[in-house]
Amino acid sequence: MRHRSLGLLGIVAFGYAFLYLPILSVMIYSFNDSRLVTLWGGFSLRWYAHLLEDEEVLEAALLSLRIAAVSATVATCLGALVALAMQRLTRLRGRLLLAGMITAPLVMPEIITGLSLLFLFISMAEWIGWPATRGATTITVAHITFSMAYVAVVVRSRLAGMDESLEEAAMDLGGRPLAVFFDITVPMLLPALVSGWLLAFTLSLDDLVISSFVSGPGATTLPMLIFAKVRLGVTPDINAIATIIIALVAVGVVTAALLTRRREGAASS
């Protein structure tokens, strides 16, 4: 038993090391004095100072975060609804069509998704005048559309293995559908909702191809900006902003963990 868990721990450690090796390299080189990304020229904070003056990068980062947060939240709601309907409704008109539409975005090559949505937005603007300009809104719509498919898959597989007796009991006792839904179904689905939200958020934050297609003048997300900069060669200030993002999230996670520990400690004593 002990032997087996040691093996498991080994794989887990390897997995995390694998995920963080390139990140570590990005972080180390953000403190590099040299302009060359692959050559160490001594410790320096100059790229961080450089970053503070660069409003473009900060704006792009904020825009990306805003789009990711909104699209992940909407996608989680819509995707979960689709999963619930497919799994729980006995009668659903056009079930096959819905199944196809919620699966296809998973396998659509990004370039097709981006291009086809661009065509759609152009025709819509001609016919009904919306969207008048392409930018943050159209990017958000595009991101919601493909990320709800991921949420739906995750929620569906959770629902498939879920015990329905609790919900049935609550219904039998006369619980209102909405109340049962929010008091019982949602908490039971929570791990899937959290996973789905994180997936959607990450997909949105990291998307370059689809955003580039459906964006317009004035809306530059961080990956778009980085891509534009990388064309001229990676500069260490991009490493610096990556390091700041990682650091901010890490601090947030640790703080949240400490806060819940303190609250739990206070509750138990």
Partner 1 sequence: MSDETTTLGGRAQRWLQRAVAFPYVWLLLFFLTPFLIILKISVAEPLVAQPPFTPLFEWGQRGIEGVKLTFENYAFLFQDGYYGIIYLSSLKMAAIGTLLCLLIGYPMAYYIARQPARRRQVLLLAVILPFWISFLLRVYAWIGLLNNRGVINDVLLYLGVIDEPLTMLYNDFAVYLGIVYSYLPFMILPLYANLERLDIDLLDAAADLGARRWQAFIDVTLPLSVPGIIGRVLWDEFFISRDWPVASAVSIILVLLLVAPIVWFQRVETREQEAAR
**Under the phi-then-psi rule, with left for phi > 0, alpha for psi from -120 to 50, and beta for the rest, what region is 34?**
beta
Q: How far apart are the first and last CA of the chain?
A: 35
By CB under 8 A, which span of 46-54, 129-137, 177-185 interacts with partner 1? 177-185
Q: Write out the binding residues for partner 1, residues 24-63 only, by CB under 8 A.
A: 25-26, 29, 37-38
Amino acid at 12: V
Would you give the binding string for partner 1 spanning residues 129-168, x where CB under 8 A is met?
A: ------------xx-xx--x-x--xxxxxx-xx--x--xx
- At its nearest, how many Å lie between partner 1 and the CB of residue 53? 21
Decide if 80 contacts 155 (C-beta within 8 A).
yes
- At its nearest, how many Å lie between partner 1 and the CB of residue 194? 7
Q: How far apart are CA 175 and CA 169, in angstroms?
A: 9
- At its nearest, how many Å lie between partner 1 and the CB of residue 152? 9
Per-position b or e across 35-48, b if 16+ CB within 10 A of its CB = eebeeeeeeeeebb
Answer for which of 58, 208, 216, 235 binds partner 1 (CB under 8 A) is: 208
Q: Does 11 bind partner 1 (CB under 8 A)?
A: yes
Element (H, E) at 193: helix 186-206
Nearer to partner 1, 105 or 216 (CB): 105
Answer for which of 33, 34, 49, 177 binds partner 1 (CB under 8 A) is: 177
Alpha helices in 30-54 (DSSP H): 46-53
Helix (H, G, I), strand (E, B) or coil at 32: strand
Answer for which of 57, 67, 72, 205 binds partner 1 (CB under 8 A) is: 205
Q: Does 250 bind partner 1 (CB under 8 A)?
A: yes
Q: Does 179 bind partner 1 (CB under 8 A)?
A: no
Give the interface size with partner 1 as a residue count (CB under 8 A). 109
- At its nearest, how many Å lie between partner 1 and the CB of residue 198? 5
Q: Write out the binding residues for partner 1, residues 95-134 only, by CB under 8 A.
A: 96, 98-113, 115-117, 119-120, 123
- At its nearest, how many Å lie between partner 1 and the CB of residue 229? 9
| Burial class of 59 by CB neighbour count within 10 A (0 to 12, 13 to 18, 19+) | middle
Decide if 146 contacts 70 (C-beta within 8 A).
no
Nearer to partner 1, 100 or 218 (CB): 100
- At its nearest, how many Å lie between partner 1 and the CB of residue 44? 18
In this structure, is the dihedral angle defined by the CA atoms of residues 208, 242, 231 and 59, taken in order, positive or negative?
positive
